[in-house]
Amino acid sequence: MLDAPRTTPPFNCDAPVRLVRVCLDPLRAPPAFAQSTPKGPPVNHHSLLSRAALALAFASPALTLGACPSPAVPVVAEPAPTAPEPPRPTLPGAELDLLPAASADLPPGAVLRLGSAALSQSDEIHHVALSADGTRVYASAIYDNRASVWDVATGKKLMELPAHDLGNVEGLATSPDGKRLATAYGTAVLVTDRDGASATPPVRVNGKDIVAAAWSPDGTRLAIGHREGKVDLADAATGKITKTLRGKDEMFDQVAFSPDGTRVAGTGSPSGKTMIWDAKTGKTLLAWATPETGYGRGLAWLADGTLVVACSEKGQVVLFAPAAQTPKATPTATWTRGPGIASMVGTGTGHLVVGHFGGGLAVVDPATGKTVVDLVPQNPDQAEGGSYVNALAVGGGRIASGWINGRVRVFEADGRPATADVDAYHGAATAVAWSSDGRWLATGAADGSLLLWRGKNGQPWRTLRPELTDPKWALGAAVADVAIRPNSTLVAVAQADQVIRIWDAATGDLLKALSGPSVPTTLAFSPDGKSLAVGHLGGEVILVDVATWKGTTSLKHPSAVMGLAFIGGSDKLAVGLASVVALWDLSTQKVLGKRERNGFRPMTQALAVTADGKTLFTGGFGGDVDRWDLTLGEQAQTTASYPHDDPDNMASNPVSCLAVAPDGAFASGGLQNDVSVFAADGKRLTHTKAHGGELTDLAFSPDGKHLASASKDGTVLIWRRD
């Protein structure tokens, strides 16, 4: 029962739960938190275009996915001093509320979109292509069966190409004259016009395990790469296969004609196997491989007939001279770049474009490997804190890059962005929170930025971005969670660089930067606004006194903290772990009990508590939203379960986030881009495919009339509750 506290809850874990006190004065003891006072507000109030970054985790006011826990940090008891808090400044005037709402194509039921879906896909980009004039960019994400088309200048989506029952898109290539598009699917290559319309009869090249397609320089032929160790040459007008070029147990997902069209090159196998064939006779001219170099990640022919091959593991690039006409020919030059090469393409003007697994993207000199133009700075610690380019294409003097966070970025040859600034993150929107008066929202992003929006019209009014001097976070420290202090303008932001930042939304000032024992995953202000609870990957929950920004209590758990919620006041806390929710009485500093769901895929990803503190909701990999009665003490059984999605499809659509309205209604977000809203009695009211990417966070407005949903597509939608 709640009135019979335990010091150690009955966790089904190897390590016990421990409650310890913590001294957070950095001058007196090894800190669990260390705080620093910023030199000044490192704020960009004007630019709303953010760089791509890797999202740390799903997050909500009561949720964040965790990773493997960090080692525990010893802490020592020490009371924190108290001091009166200075009065907070008010928000900018109501004139900002009266700005017109941006017009947008919204799904039914949505009233506002925060941010823009410009140049954004629902999942990691696998293929890109540019039109010959550089005005259109084509892209497809993993497991897509169609490609999307955007206008490069504005970033607006023009169309989605027709879907075909031919498997996933495996390659995109525009013809040299810009009038045709070759789309490679798993079982066929279709040649259409640039809008995806087929001729009658359509030009189709059938195959098996197709992984790539490339045009000949004169536009008359296609080279089609297969997983089964061959490259087919086909007539682009009729679809007839005219020659088959053979390898042996290789995969050729990178294929390219030489500038004069007489030779064809292919690479892509795990051994880095690269082959060159005579396009007319089919004779093998080169067969080169060194297993230690890893996959062949890119091919480029230079104007003089030199072939350049990029290999992934060591960031190695090798060059073969035009005279390499024997199967045992060796590279004539070799150089390395970065921690590993993810993609490479030739510019057609004598340079290469190289994308690294560390997130960097650069135009380089093929002779030396030295940077000519730095498009995106390199992250020395590989992909930590950032995304990376998975696909590259050139056309019309421009460079298109497809990133694993679902974004497409297009650059001019000199490195300038080719797309006008849009109110969008270059990365997932990872968290959203409403102010107490409902007038504004704060949203966090995978690129490390915090954006503030007007709730009445969806207009952005401030961008807050920390100054990160460590090169490890060159692409931004991803935001895991945001929380707004009740009846205040203070916003707390948990970020991947192991820092919790406290911003003043009214002034844009960075007030505090608190460093914790491990990466913070989730945040929650107490209802009275006096405490901030911070959950960490290492299992720690630190309670911070807002008056002094010093920690007062540390609750230690055996696994990563995935969610936090205060229970019916400021003295009880629910802590979501892997498959357990621990209930703490903060006034007695004892554990009240637990809630644990056994059985199929019990992992908890989402947690929320009703305003009266009587009901807890959890969700996770099982696809259910579980209801728990918190008045039943040690009762560890659900009182009800509700399928988030189709009951026959729950396992493939885990619950990623939850929110509860003041009237007890609740909402769940899923990994399949959808939102379900339930009445307080559990009746499902709506189920909507809401976004172009997985749901990462949900939040009801203080009056319960609106619901905000954040997504990996880089946007937040505001929904009206009818």
The secondary structure of 68-129 as a DSSP string is SPPPP------PPP--PPPPPPPPSPGGGTTSPPPP----TTEEEEES--TTB-SS-EEEEE
pLDDT at 531: 97
pLDDT at residue 494 tops 60:
yes
What CATH number corresponds to the domain at position 465? 2.130.10.10
350, 366 in Cβ contact below 8 A?
yes
Domain with 77, as residue range(s), is: 18-115+424-720
628, 615 in Cβ contact below 8 A?
yes
d(CA 330, CA 428): 44
Residue among 64, 11, 12, 56 nearest 535 (CA): 64
Averaged pLDDT, 528-556: 95
Residues linked to residue 485 through DSSP beta bridges, in sequence order: none
DSSP 161: P
Give DSSP secondary structure letters for 266-322: EE-STT--EEEEETTT--EEEEE--GGG--EEEEEE-TTS-EEEEETTTTEEEEE-T
Give the tens place of pLDDT for each residue, 549-603: 999 999 999 999 999 999 999 999 999 988 889 999 998 889 988 888 765 555 5
Residue among 423, 379, 418, 378 nearest 397 (CA): 418
Cβ partners under 8 Å of residue 571, min gap 6: 585, 586, 587
pLDDT at residue 640 tops 80:
yes
Q: Is residue 167 part of a domain?
A: no
pLDDT confidence band for 475 (50 / 70 / 90): low
pLDDT at residue 537 tops 70:
yes
446, 115 in Cβ contact below 8 A?
no
pLDDT at residue 50 tops 60:
no
pLDDT at residue 35 tops 90:
no
pLDDT at 439: 93
Q: Angle CA(452)–CA(675)–CA(708) in degrees, nearest 5?
A: 20
pLDDT at residue 29 tops 60:
no
Higher pLDDT among residues 271 and 251, named by residue = 251
Question: Between the CA of residue 484 and those of 64, 66, 95, 203, 661, what are the distances in Å?
Answer: 16, 21, 22, 57, 17
Instruction: Specify the number of domains making up the chain.
Output: 1
CB atoms within 10 A of CB 199: 11
Q: Which two tokens stand for residue 526?
A: 């107490």
pLDDT at residue 380 tops 80:
no
pLDDT at residue 13 tops 50:
no
Question: Between the CA of residue 354 and those of 51, 289, 417, 592, what are the distances in Å?
Answer: 18, 21, 17, 56
Beta-strand relationship, 18-20 and 550-556: antiparallel
pLDDT at residue 51 tops 60:
no
Q: Is residue 89 part of a domain?
A: yes
Q: Is residue 350 part of a domain?
A: no
| Segment among 30-44, 184-198, 320-334 with least mean pLDDT | 30-44
pLDDT at 75: 33
DSSP 197: P
Give the tens place of pLDDT for each residue, 422-472: 655 556 789 999 999 999 999 998 888 899 999 999 988 888 989 888 877
Residues linked to residue 64 through DSSP beta bridges, in sequence order: 59
Q: Is residue 259 part of a domain?
A: no
pTM given for the model = 0.69
pLDDT at 60: 31
Cβ partners under 8 Å of residue 530, min gap 6: 545, 546, 547, 570
Q: Is residue 347 part of a domain?
A: no
Q: Is residue 159 part of a domain?
A: no
Residues linked to residue 409 through DSSP beta bridges, in sequence order: 401
Beta-strand relationship, 210-215 and 221-226: antiparallel
Phi/psi for 518 (5° steps) reads: -155, -175
Q: Is residue 87 part of a domain?
A: yes
CB atoms within 10 A of CB 12: 10
Most distant CA pair in the chain, distance:
86
Q: Which two tokens stand for residue 541?
A: 């929950």
Q: Whole-number mean pLDDT of the chain?
A: 82
Residue among 471, 483, 459, 442 nearest 565 (CA): 483
Amino acid at 353: V
pLDDT at 602: 55
- In three-state secondary structure terms, 505 is coil
pLDDT at residue 503 tops 90:
yes
Q: Is residue 361 part of a domain?
A: no
Q: Which two tokens stand for residue 81?
A: 């001093």
d(CA 361, CA 345): 11
% of the chain surpassing 70 pLDDT: 83
Determine the length of the chain. 722
pLDDT confidence band for 383 (50 / 70 / 90): very low
Averaged pLDDT, 407-432: 81
% of the chain surpassing 90 pLDDT: 55
Averaged pLDDT, 303-326: 89
Give the tens place of pLDDT for each residue, 654-683: 899 999 999 999 999 988 888 999 999 999
pLDDT at 211: 96
432, 443 in Cβ contact below 8 A?
yes
pLDDT confidence band for 377 (50 / 70 / 90): confident
d(CA 650, CA 524): 29
Question: Between the CA of residue 166 and those of 145, 205, 544, 614, what are the distances in Å?
Answer: 8, 11, 56, 52
